[in-house]
């Protein structure tokens, strides 16, 4: 039976998993707010072109992942809204070739955006280098011959791409610089992105193991991965606290206090989530969806509060100069 064009369009959009694009907007905004905090004016052209590169790279990753992970997604029946792929290709709603062509086209858009940024914005060389690194890591996350996700390196690559590279690109494109304060804020976000990727990998572990997809959860085993998950949650909470305290003591009291407030709000959620996984939620199919949701929510919560902290301090500084 032929699939209606409208249904094909909906399937194509679902294949891109648009809900997961939110992280690119959030962490780009964090980088921009860091630059404004440093005293730079908003460069709207850099903001728009930077977001084009970030979003097209993310979409490229989603289409490529569903194409290259098709063999492991087909037998997977442990589905949640956050894991198991979009199910568009395994269910035959679109040809796998559509996903591959879309991924390649989006790679071209990302590269064209970088060229436009180089010509129009004239950013530091490091910004273009970070965008190229993010594009390469995103493609080879699932694409052969490197296929990081099969080598137990996919979680590390994903943790670096979104909170670190995206935030730093947003900062550099606005004329900012990466300093100690920025690194102290980004470090716990990298850890929580890693945690989130473990969360969404637990339900897929059975089918991944059967098809030879050696994710970190498969390589470590569920119990060891759950222990690592809990340790990293604790490390992220400690890193956030340490960063806030160091900023209070050594550089900016106001920013540090706001970041400390963000830590106080985030801490109960982080400890609850870590203890829940450690208590066995990682192996309970009834809790898989919630585990993934709270892993995502914890990352978004911390990142969003960081954006608010830098934004409020920047506004306070602006008002103080006016008065």
Which residue range forms the structural domain that includes residue 181?
9-318
Q: Which residues pair with 83 in a beta bridge?
A: 80
Q: Name residue, tokens 């969003």.
A: 304
Average pLDDT of the residues in 156-185: 95
Q: Name residues whose C-beta falls within 8 Å of residue 166's C-beta, 6 or more positions apart in sequence.
A: 23, 24, 27, 28, 31, 54, 134
Q: What band does 111 get if pLDDT is binned at 50, 70 and 90?
A: very high
State the pLDDT confidence band at 84, using cuts at 50, 70 and 90: confident
User: pTM of the full predicted structure?
Assistant: 0.93
* Confidence check: pLDDT of 197 > 90: yes
Ordered DSSP codes for 55-69: HHHHHHHHHHHHHHT
Look up the CATH number of the domain holding residue 213. 1.10.600
Cα 39–Cα 251–Cα 241 angle in degrees, nearest 5? 110
> Positive or negative CA dihedral for 13, 50, 193, 237?
negative
- CB-based contact 85:160 (threshold 8 Å): no
| pLDDT > 70? residue 3 | no
- In the block, which residue shows the tokens 């209606």? 4
φ, ψ for residue 215 (rounded to 5)? -65, 170
DSSP 170-233: HHHHTT----HHHHHHHHHHHHHHHHHHHHHHTTTHHHHHHTT---HHHHH-HHHHHHHHHHHH
Q: For the packed helices 180-201 and 22-37, what is the interaxial angle rounded to 10 degrees?
A: 170
Q: Is residue 160 part of a domain?
A: yes
Among 33-37, 54-58, 78-82, the minimum mean pLDDT is found in 78-82
Question: Which of the four pLDDT bands, split at 50, 70 and 90, describes residue 47?
Answer: very high
Is 143 domain-assigned?
Answer: yes
- The pLDDT, as a whole number, for residue 323 is 56
Tell me whether residue 323 is in a domain. Answer: no
Q: Where are the alpha helices (DSSP H) in the chain?
A: 5-15, 22-37, 44-68, 70-73, 96-120, 125-140, 154-159, 167-173, 180-201, 205-210, 216-220, 222-250, 253-278, 288-322
What is the total count of domains within the chain?
A: 1
Query: Is 144 contained in some domain?
Result: yes
- The answer to whether residue 4 is domain-embedded is no
Residue 320 binned pLDDT confidence (cut-offs 50, 70, 90): low
Query: 74-83, 103-112, 151-160 — which is least confidently predicted?
Result: 74-83
CA distances to 53, 208, 295 from 204, rounded to whole Å, are 29, 6, 16
Question: Do the beta carbons of residue 170 and residue 181 sit within 8 Å?
Answer: no
Domain annotation covers residue 2: no
CB 24 within 8 A of CB 54: yes
* pLDDT score at 305: 97
Task: Name all contacts of 107-113 with Cβ < 8 Å and 24+ positions apart.
Answer: 107/56, 107/57, 107/60, 107/135, 107/139, 109/52, 109/56, 110/52, 110/53, 110/56, 110/57, 110/60, 110/135, 111/135, 113/49, 113/50, 113/52, 113/53, 113/56
The answer as to whether 129 is a domain residue is yes
Structure tokens at 23: 């992280």
Query: What is the average pLDDT across 72-98?
Result: 89
Banded pLDDT at 1 (limits 50, 70, 90): very low
Q: Is 3 inside any structural domain? A: no
């Amino acid at each position: 039976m032929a699939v209606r064009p409208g249904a094909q369009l909906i399937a194509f959009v679902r294949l891109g998993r648009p809900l997961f694009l939110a992280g690119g907007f959030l962490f780009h905004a964090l980088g921009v707010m860091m630059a404004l905090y440093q005293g730079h004016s908003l460069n709207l052209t850099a903001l728009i072109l930077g977001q084009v590169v970030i979003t097209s790279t993310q979409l490229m990753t989603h289409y490529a992942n569903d194409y290259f992970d098709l063999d492991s997604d087909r037998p997977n029946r442990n589905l949640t809204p956050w894991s198991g792929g979009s199910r568009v290709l395994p269910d035959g709603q679109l040809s796998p070739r559509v996903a591959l062509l879309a991924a390649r086209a989006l790679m071209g858009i990302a590269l064209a955006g970088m060229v436009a940024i180089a010509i129009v914005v004239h950013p530091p060389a490091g910004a273009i280098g970070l965008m190229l690194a993010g594009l390469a890591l995103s493609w080879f996350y699932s694409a052969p011959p490197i296929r990081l996700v099969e080598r137990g390196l996919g979680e590390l690559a994903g943790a670096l791409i979104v909170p670190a590279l995206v935030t730093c690109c947003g900062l550099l494109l606005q004329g900012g610089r990466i300093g100690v304060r920025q690194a102290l804020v980004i470090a716990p976000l990298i850890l929580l992105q890693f945690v989130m990727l473990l969360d969404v990998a637990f339900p897929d572990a059975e089918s991944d193991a059967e098809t030879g997809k050696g994710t970190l959860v498969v390589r470590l085993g569920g119990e060891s991965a759950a222990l690592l998950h809990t340790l990293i949650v604790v490390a992220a909470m400690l890193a956030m606290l340490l960063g806030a305290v160091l900023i209070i003591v050594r550089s900016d009291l106001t920013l540090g206090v706001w970041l400390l407030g963000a830590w106080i709000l985030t801490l109960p959620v982080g400890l609850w989530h870590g203890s829940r996984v450690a208590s066995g939620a990682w192996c309970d199919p009834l809790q898989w969806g919630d585990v993934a949701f709270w892993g995502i929510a914890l990352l978004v919560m911390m990142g969003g509060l960081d954006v608010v902290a830098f934004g409020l301090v920047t506004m306070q500084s602006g008002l103080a100069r006016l008065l």
